């Protein structure tokens, strides 16, 4: 499984008006890997994740998924290629129940798997099963994050994009969510690209990682290498969230 590129981002530049948020980014994610992207506020991490999903689109460079150039595809067609996203801020539907949120995540193509997929998500996050009739907006932050991931999984993704799943959550809850991501990767071979400010948790989880500064990748390596790297330690780990 590993060793084959599922996602390749090549020389990508993304702009907001005249402002260049991504200044020539190259990353790759192989099938079966967990790869993370770490960096400070405003580095461009979410912009990269959104560029992969086609909104905003890259002005320069290309995004190749499963051997196909998706740079200029509209977002709904990119989603059909089985790239699913849990965006920054979770963006669940607050007035819908947990169960309805999961329904929203399942594409029409996946309806025959619906019961099976919901059961899988309830096994992964038993809390969601207990709360299935509760409105999304009344869940705790950790439960909302579980729901956001669960909803993305309902699309049966080949690539799962996670933008700051740890944001605002207590360390113990983060541990549980990261353990679930690891489980999906190990048991289902799910490929994951993770954006995180919580560098310690992300690097521990990941096979490989990239560091982004001002819209550029400045470092890359295995999770272990970057955890031990003095520059990474000084900038992202010392005194940071552990
Ligand atoms: N919609 C937008 N319009 C204009 N500029 C934007 C927009 N979204 C982001 N930016 C700018 O692009 C740059 C990168 O932002 P981005 O949200 O990608 O960073 P980030 O690494 O995800 O940060 P954080 O860790 O705070 O989530 C920032 O300078 C930001 O101000
Ligand atoms: Mg962000």
Q: What is the pLDDT of residues 66-110, one digit of tens each?
A: 999 999 999 999 999 999 999 888 899 999 999 999 999 997 778
pLDDT band at 239 (very low <50, low <70, confident <90, very high): low
> Residue 185 falls within a domain, yes or no?
no
98 plus 122 within the same structural domain:
yes
Q: Number of structural domains, the chain? A: 2
Q: Which of 47, 91, 198 to mutate to test the pocket of ligand 1 (most atoms within 8 A of CB)?
A: 47
Q: Classify strands 159-163 and 83-86 as parallel, antiparallel or unpaired.
A: parallel
Tokens of 207: 């096979």
Residue 42's domain comprises 1-82+163-170+191-233
Pocket test for ligand 1, best of 25, 41, 46, 210 (most atoms within 8 A of CB): 46
Does 242 fall in a domain?
Answer: no
Tokens 């506020």 -> residue: 41
pLDDT band (50, 70, 90) for residue 236: confident
Whether residue 17 is found in the same domain as residue 50: yes
User: What mean pLDDT, rounded, does the chain reach?
Assistant: 93
Q: Distance of alpha carbon 112 from its chain centroid, rounded? A: 26
- 22, 65: one domain: yes
**Ligand 1 neighbour 39 (Cβ under 6 A):** yes
Are 35 and 97 contained in the same domain?
A: no
- Backbone φ and ψ of 68, nearest 5°: -115, 140
Which residue has the least CA distance to atom 12 on ligand 1?
21
**Would you state the pLDDT for residue 33?**
97
> Is residue 242 scored above 70 in pLDDT?
no
11: alpha, beta or left? (left if phi > 0; alpha if psi -120 to 50): left
- Is 39 within 8 Å of 51 (Cβ atoms)? no
CATH number of residue 37's parent domain:
3.40.50.300
**Position in ligand 1 atom list of the atom nearest CA 40:** 25
């Amino acid at each position: 499984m590993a060793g084959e590129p599922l996602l390749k981002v090549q020389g990508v530049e993304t702009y907001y008006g005249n402002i260049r948020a991504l200044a020539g980014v190259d990353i790759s994610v192989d099938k079966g890997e967990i790869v993370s992207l770490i960096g400070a506020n405003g580095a461009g991490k979410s912009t990269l994740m959104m560029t992969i999903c086609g909104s905003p689109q890259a002005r320069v460079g290309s995004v190749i998924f499963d051997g196909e150039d998706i740079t200029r595809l509209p977002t709904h067609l990119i989603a059909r290629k089985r790239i699913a996203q849990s965006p920054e801020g979770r963006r669940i539907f607050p007035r819908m129940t947990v169960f309805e949120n999961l329904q929203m995540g399942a594409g029409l193509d996946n309806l025959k798997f619906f019961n099976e997929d919901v059961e899988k998500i309830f096994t992964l996050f038993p809390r969601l099963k207990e709360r299935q009739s509760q409105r999304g907006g009344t869940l705790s932050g950790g439960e909302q994050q579980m729901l956001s991931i669960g909803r993305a999984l309902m699309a049966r993704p080949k690539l799962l994009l996670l933008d700051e799943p740890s944001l605002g959550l207590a360390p113990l809850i983060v541990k549980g969510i990261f353990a679930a991501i690891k489980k999906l990767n190990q048991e289902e071979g799910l490929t994951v690209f993770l954006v995180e400010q919580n560098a310690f948790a992300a690097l521990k989880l990941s096979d490989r990682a990239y560091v982004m500064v001002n819209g550029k990748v400045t470092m890359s390596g295995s999770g272990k290498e970057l955890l031990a790297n003095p520059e990474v330690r000084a900038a992202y780990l010392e005194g940071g969230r552990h």
